[in-house]
Amino acid sequence: MIKEFLLPDLGEGLTESEIVSWHVAVGDIVTLNQVIADVETAKAVVELPSPYAGRVAQLHEQAGTVVEVGAPIVSFEVAGTDTGNGGDAGGRAGASGATAEGTAPAMFSPEEPQKRTPNLVGYGAVPERTGRPARRRWLTDGQAQAPAAAASAPAPAPASPNAGAAEPDVVAESSVSPTAERPRSTPPVRKLARDLGIDLADISGTGPHGLIVRSDVTRAAEENAADVADVLGDATQPNVGARLLPPSSADPGPAPGVGTSGVREERVPIAGMRKHTAAAMVASAFTAPHVTVFLTVDVTESMELLARLRGQKTFEGVKLTPLTLAAKAVCLALQRHPSLNSRWDEAARDIVQYRYVNLGIAAATPRGLMVPNIKDAQALGLRELAAALGTLAQTARAGKTTPADLSGGTFSISNVGVFGIDAGTPILNPGEAGILALGAVRQQPWVHDGALAVRQVMTLSLSFDHRLVDGEQGARFLSDVGAVLEEPAMALALM
């Protein structure tokens, strides 16, 4: 029996998504909730699990295709009889995973209770096998290296007449074995990998029989951190003028020089994250009347405080940067100036003032600009805030930021100082009343205690929605943030 899987609405109210890559090919055996594809929405790349267990009969769309919600993307050949749900991805019909010999086990009897398994697209199909599942057998090194005859055997032809329409090159390019196992690890290690944005398939386990252990995951996270520029890095810049930075990871690569032979221009489709970012920026710029104010502050005491805190055992394992202190200062200042932590609801003719802070951090990723946010940042201490910033950065770099992480922000920070930039006029994240840009920390001549001295100086740039925030309110908020960064002890006065 053939079951079609329709592209679901991934919970964001979007009308289309792009298939980034397939994890399966025609003829592969899949299990319930096995990840079959990476799908890019306007906000993030998410893993799409299979609502059925059975054999892949047809891939209706190729990788790179933009598909409308509700359109069929893959067909499965499943065991059993039709229950009347047709191609509904939330139907109760489905087949269990195949055995080692490739045969389907017995189905549930109608009288047996069937428990539905939650997944990304609803409750999916019901596992149609009872009894205790067989234990996974650890492979010896010799067995792991020897190709299995069953794995290399060609899959039988699909039963559906439509299955023959599947593109043959998709099958030929597939290197997925029908009986391939997912990387072996324990649940705590898998959770750690998810939190750090690490793909276990890219890790070689050092535990018994190739088991992936905690140290393998942390080592991979450290290697990733070394390979990618840290968007939460120290914004301290020497006074050497402009400096050459590596190109953005979001750019496709260096373009040929002017006057060279070959193609003189290239057209790139407007899709995915770039399409969403463009729409959001245009909507924000032409809906909210932007006002930007600037303040240059002496942050020498803040830099000295960070140096002292880095040497304390309490802050071992977390990265402390000017952004950490600025994030804390913003949370404190928002309590005194709630107009900066509000939203203009045109439809309801209301101004929504938040009693919590979901602090967005603008992050430059290979997919483009993203603004994930830290939920209830106002409730976090300095160490917890630093740890949350580190996790946010690692997840964004790995492309594992979820739609939930990108939704619900109330105020944002953009740390342009890591690129050597002093100031700017940031555009508001849609639905937010304010965004603060942090400039580079530079050594400059400054009047300190009535005398000229070399001090560490930073420029703050605050953009706000003038419908929600008066000039006085914006100025007082920025003054409070600057006061904390100039003299960290002032944070006690704002608590």
Catalytic-labelled residue, pool 209, 276, 290, 466: 466
Does residue 301 sit in helix, strand or coil? Answer: helix
CA–CA distances in Å: residue 275 to residues 17, 18, 67, 86, 279: 12, 12, 15, 34, 6
CB-count exposure of residue 269 (10 Å: 0-12, 13-18, 19+) = exposed
CB-count exposure of residue 171 (10 Å: 0-12, 13-18, 19+) = middle
Q: What pLDDT is stored for residue 125 in this prediction?
A: 47
The 10s digit of each residue's pLDDT in 16-30 is: 888 888 999 999 999
**Res. 271 pLDDT band, cuts 50 70 90:** confident
Nearest-10 Cα torsion for 56, 57, 63, 67: -110
Give the whole-angstrom CA distance, residue 429 versus residue 410. Answer: 9
What would the two tokens of residue 188 be? 């705590």
Catalytic site residue 466?
yes
CA–CA distances in Å: residue 290 to residues 277, 285, 373, 430, 462: 18, 7, 22, 12, 10
At how many degrees (to 10) do helices 187-196 and 214-227 cross? 10
Q: Which of 231, 187, 175 is nearest to 211 (CA)?
A: 187
Nearest-10 Cα torsion for 75, 78, 81, 86: -20
Q: What pLDDT is stored for residue 199 in this prediction?
A: 74
Q: What pLDDT is stored for residue 401 in this prediction?
A: 85
Give the whole-angstrom CA distance, residue 45 versus residue 54. Answer: 25
When mean pLDDT is compared across 14-28, 193-207, 323-337, 378-392, the lowest value belongs to 193-207
What would the two tokens of residue 360 be? 């967005």
**Res. 254 pLDDT band, cuts 50 70 90:** low
The 10s digit of each residue's pLDDT in 296-320 is: 999 999 999 999 999 899 998 899 9
Give the whole-angstrom CA distance, residue 308 versus residue 59. Answer: 57
Give the whole-angstrom CA distance, residue 62 versus residue 71. Answer: 13
**Res. 167 pLDDT band, cuts 50 70 90:** very low
Give the whole-angstrom CA distance, residue 117 versus residue 288. Answer: 44
Q: Are 201 and 122 in contact (CB under 8 A)?
A: no
In the block, residue with structure tokens 């190729």: 62
Higher-pLDDT residue of 35, 132? 35
Q: Are 89 and 8 in contact (CB under 8 A)?
A: yes
How large a percentage of the chain has pLDDT more than 90?
A: 41
Q: Model's pTM, two decimal places?
A: 0.58
Give the whole-angstrom CA distance, residue 324 versus residue 299. Answer: 13
In the block, residue with structure tokens 């039709």: 82
Give the whole-angstrom CA distance, residue 388 versus residue 34. Answer: 29
DSSP secondary structure code for residue 146 in this structure: S
Give the whole-angstrom CA distance, residue 298 versus residue 447. Answer: 10
Is the pLDDT at 138 greater than 60? The verdict is no
Is the pLDDT at 416 greater than 90? The verdict is yes
Q: Are 314 and 452 in contact (CB under 8 A)?
A: no
When mean pLDDT is compared across 93-107, 156-170, 403-417, the lowest value belongs to 93-107
What average pLDDT does range 164-174 have in this prediction? 38
Does residue 277 sit in helix, strand or coil? Answer: helix
**Res. 191 pLDDT band, cuts 50 70 90:** low
Is the pLDDT at 69 greater than 90? The verdict is no
| β-pair partners for 4 | 75
Number of other residues whose CB lies within 10 A of the CB of residue 301 = 16
CA–CA distances in Å: residue 310 to residues 107, 231, 285, 320, 377: 60, 19, 40, 7, 21
Give the whole-angstrom CA distance, residue 3 versus residue 81. Answer: 11
Q: Are 192 and 394 in contact (CB under 8 A)?
A: no
Q: State which amino acid sits at residue 370.
A: M
